[in-house]
Structure 1
């Protein structure tokens, strides 16, 4: 019975043998009722005692054993499982190598899940560029990471209401902009997503040259955002500069 919940066959046999009796049993009686070898009985009993599902007491010179009721075991198993789940949520396995491959993603939901995972696992820094409706999906998580001490910088196309310290808002001055998402985490992990034939597609990589180039791209966009915010009207009056801006995301 208990084998389904991580107990060994012998542990399950011993527990059932004790539980089935109305009175406490000594080790010899447990051997007879459980069919567990005598040489193993004390080892198994001690494990069950350590797990908190068998109790022991002394009766004269004899040690007796009794079983915890099933309802208590169910509550214990549930509590242990929920604790393990919470620990698993915070468990991190850090890569000890650099993966230079460029991986592709083609599903919008998968791209979103990867973005969320990368943000959650960030230790030192997050750079994120996205349209405001996309960035809103991660706003709360980004704010939490900043509160945890992670350096967060975001550039939101269309603006974003957020408590983040380092936030920049690009209000487009040209009509046609192609949506994209750029996430760089810990100066090591990159995800870049854009639209192709009305579908989201992305690349994900740890390639250092690409991460470095896209980090420069991120700050290039922040610089242009601040420049156009201050001098946009003047710049658009210059035909040559206006054409150059039109070739960028602006």
Structure 2
């Protein structure tokens, strides 16, 4: 039975042989009761001691062995398993190869899941542009990542209430300009996801291609610069017909 929980066949036989007796056994007796080869018995016993399944003591010059109660072993197996699960949750595997492919994604839920995963795995930086409705979904995890020391910078179209230190809010100023929602995420200057509406459905691309990541990083800061300029000089800019037409051609 113990073999299902990481014990070898010999370990299981030795444990059951000791446990079945009403008194401690020496190595010779354990060999007789367990059918484990004498040449292997001390190796097996030492492993069981290391696993906390067998206790040992000296009786004169003879070493005796006693099996730990099965319930105690069950509790230890459960505790070790839960500890391993927690360690696995925090374990990260980073790709070391360069993938120049551009991968496509469909379905709003799938895109949102990919964005959340990329944010969660960020080590150093997160740049995110999104409309306020989408941005609000990611706000808690963004705030958590900033508290963990990750550099977070966001541009929310429509505004956002958040504790983030580096946040920009764009309130569209041009009447009649029908804005199409989009989302741009750049993580660790290496991973990129860009999503938009096409035929009334969300579609996205995902890549680690360096030229594309670099180009859309520039695009992100272009939008922040434009946001700050229009915020400060918007009234003046809109009075200029030529500039007003140029602004109308942008996503704003």
1-side partners of 2:87 and 2:39: how far apart? 36
The answer to whether the aligner puts 1:178 opposite 2:145 as a matched pair is: no
The answer to whether the aligner puts 1:157 opposite 2:163 as a matched pair is: no
Aligned twin of 1:72 = 72
Aligned twin of 1:239 = 241
TM-score normalised to structure 2 length = 0.92
Q: CA deviation at 1:230?
A: 2.1
1-side partners of 2:107 and 2:14: how far apart? 51
Q: CA deviation at 1:130?
A: 1.0
TM-score normalised to structure 1 length = 0.93
Q: Unpaired segments of 5 or more residues in structure 2?
A: none
Aligned twin of 1:111 = 111
Q: CA deviation at 1:182?
A: 0.8
1:1-250 aligned within 5 A: 1-174=1-174, 175-250=177-252
Give the secondary structure class of the aligned counterpart of 2:213.
helix
Q: Which runs of 4+ in 1 moved over 4 A?
A: none
Q: Unpaired segments of 5 or more residues in structure 1?
A: none
The root-mean-square deviation of aligned C-alpha atoms, in Å, is 1.7
2-side partners of 1:133 and 1:2: how far apart? 53
2-side partners of 1:201 and 1:112: how far apart? 11
2-side partners of 1:17 and 1:134: how far apart? 62
More off after superposition, 181-190 vs 86-95: 86-95
Give the secondary structure class of the aligned counterpart of 2:52.
coil
1-side partners of 2:107 and 2:37: how far apart? 56
2-side partners of 1:52 and 1:68: how far apart? 8
Give the secondary structure class of the aligned counterpart of 2:163.
coil
Give the secondary structure class of the aligned counterpart of 1:241.
helix
Q: CA deviation at 1:20?
A: 2.0
- In 2 relative to 1, CA 197–12 (structure 1 residues): closer, same or farther, beyond 3 Å? farther
